[in-house]
Amino acid sequence: MKRLCVILALLLFLCACGQAVQPEEMSVTTATTTTPTTTEREIDTLPAKAAKEYASVIQAYSKLLRNRESEKYEGYIAAFMKELDVPERFVAFTEPFYFLSPLGCAVYDINKDGVSELIVADNDYVNDCRNIRSIFTLKNGKPILLGIYGGNNYWCDIDVDGTLYAHGRGGAYYFEDRVYTLPANGTEFCLMEKRVMDTFDHDNDGIDEESYYFEKDGVKTYLSREEYSALESFHVKERLELALAPITP
């Protein structure tokens, strides 16, 4: 059962990242985390123009927060997906909506193409991450969902250069770190690289297998535990300090 839950959670994480689903397996351990530099930046949190452009998103989140305890919450999530015309690849990924904390939002031109993206995030940090919940951009004046993040074991942070760092954990057995960038005018984040630590007992013989690997451009390279831990590119370097405008329920 534990294994099933972990795999299910992993599938959801992969789905959230807009990638082909490859059910690999699980792992233990503590991932090495480098403490990011946090730079205070003056960001116009939510200018009137952006508040208007992204009003449908902000209102949709308000409605979710307001009805968080409703018995019909599932229906509210479905309505959220429909109202915002959420791309098919995200529709089944509802887990994050069951773990909503107080939320805020801000705009930032992640890919420096002149269009500011809307970033919805928790007001509080989680696991030393900003804990981004979703990111939207505008296409022909309409908000388009680029990604949904978060949930019980997932969190996500962003660097001032627009690089997105997504982290997923499947119990104590599996850790995955992914690095994404958003191309100019893009409607999807591109996976740049990922690393995986997997110490699940795959053959169920009571002994955990251990594997560590790095993946880039579809090429998987297996590593020793030391090599895995020495990889440094998987955590935010200069965190984008978002001064969030609260989303009121």
Stretch of 22-30, 38-46, 195-203, 221-229 contacting Ca ion, by CB under 5 A: 195-203
Which residue do the tokens 């919805």 mark?
A: 120
Q: Which of 203, 217, 226, 232 binds Ca ion (CB under 5 A)?
A: 203
Window 133-172: contact mask with Ca ion (x via CB under 5 A): ----------------------------------------
Shortest CB 169 distance to Ca ion, Å: 20
Q: What torsion do the CA atoms of 92, 66, 54, 247 make, to the nearest 10 degrees?
A: -120
Q: What torsion do the CA atoms of 15, 16, 20, 23 make, to the nearest 10 degrees?
A: -50
Distance CA 86, CA 80 (A): 8
Q: By CB under 5 A, is residue 188 in contact with Ca ion?
A: no
User: Quick one: DSSP state of residue 95?
Assistant: G
Q: Which residues contact 37 (CB under 8 A, 6 or more apart)?
A: 237, 238, 239
- 113/128 with CB nearer Ca ion: 113
Copy the structure tokens of residue 240. Answer: 């984008």
- 52/82 with CB nearer Ca ion: 52
User: Quick one: DSSP state of residue 204?
Assistant: -
| Residue 176: how many other CB atoms lie within 10 Å | 24
- 13/174 with CB nearer Ca ion: 174
Copy the structure tokens of residue 154. Answer: 């997932």
Q: By CB under 5 A, is residue 232 in contact with Ca ion?
A: no
Q: Which of 128, 188, 193, 201 binds Ca ion (CB under 5 A)?
A: 201
Kindly identify the residues of this chain, within the stretch 96-125, that bind Ca ion according to CB under 5 A.
Answer: 109, 111, 113, 115
Shortest CB 33 distance to Ca ion, Å: 27
Cross-strand pairs, 197: 175, 212
# chain residues binding Ca ion, by CB under 5 A: 8
Q: By CB under 5 A, is residue 207 in contact with Ca ion?
A: yes
Half-sphere exposure in the Cβ direction for 203 (13 Å, CA): 4
Stretch of 6-14, 146-154, 166-174, 206-214 contacting Ca ion, by CB under 5 A: 206-214
Contact footprint for Ca ion (CB under 5 A): 109, 111, 113, 115, 201, 203, 205, 207
